[in-house]
Amino acid sequence: MNAYRVRPLSFPWTPFVYIAAILIAVGLDRLFPLELLDGWYLTFLAIGSVFLAVSVWLGFSGFRKLYKCGTAMLSSSAATRLVTSGPYRFTRNPVYLAYTLATLGAGMVTGNAWLIAAAIVTAGITHAWIIRREEKHLLARFGFEFEKYRRRTRAWI
């Protein structure tokens, strides 16, 4: 099949994976609450707030850059352009990093240790299941140009 028509995924799974992880973490916290260290509450609150703020900026700027470049914003659509500017200069997956930082930040702000664990596990699932497929699509679609980008830019941070 033509690389221009191949889609990386048949469905935009990433938001649903993170939403499911968050719902599971909230449910687990109600059934089996895990207390974060009380003495560290203000530290967790400050760091979590920074993570939440960075995640909002990163998510919006990532989607905005994709939109401005006129390429697919959902992982179920074929990319029409390789975006390497804006937040994509620093990470190949700014939107997925934003989802992870938001989940991690929410866990720190609310004191829900399950959300912190969910952020880590979901980032691993996202990398293994979604990012690898997307990168195969981008390699087939953009070839050497994507390979150069992949070598100079980290997948996460």
pLDDT in tens, 63-106: 999 999 999 888 778 888 999 999 999 999 999 999 999 999 99
What three-state secondary structure class fits 52?
helix
Q: pLDDT band at 41, cuts 50/70/90?
A: confident
Distance (Å) of CA 1 to CA 45, 137, 145: 50, 12, 20
Domain residue ranges in the chain: 13-152
Give the pLDDT score at 4. 52
Nearest to 84 by CA among 69, 104, 103: 69
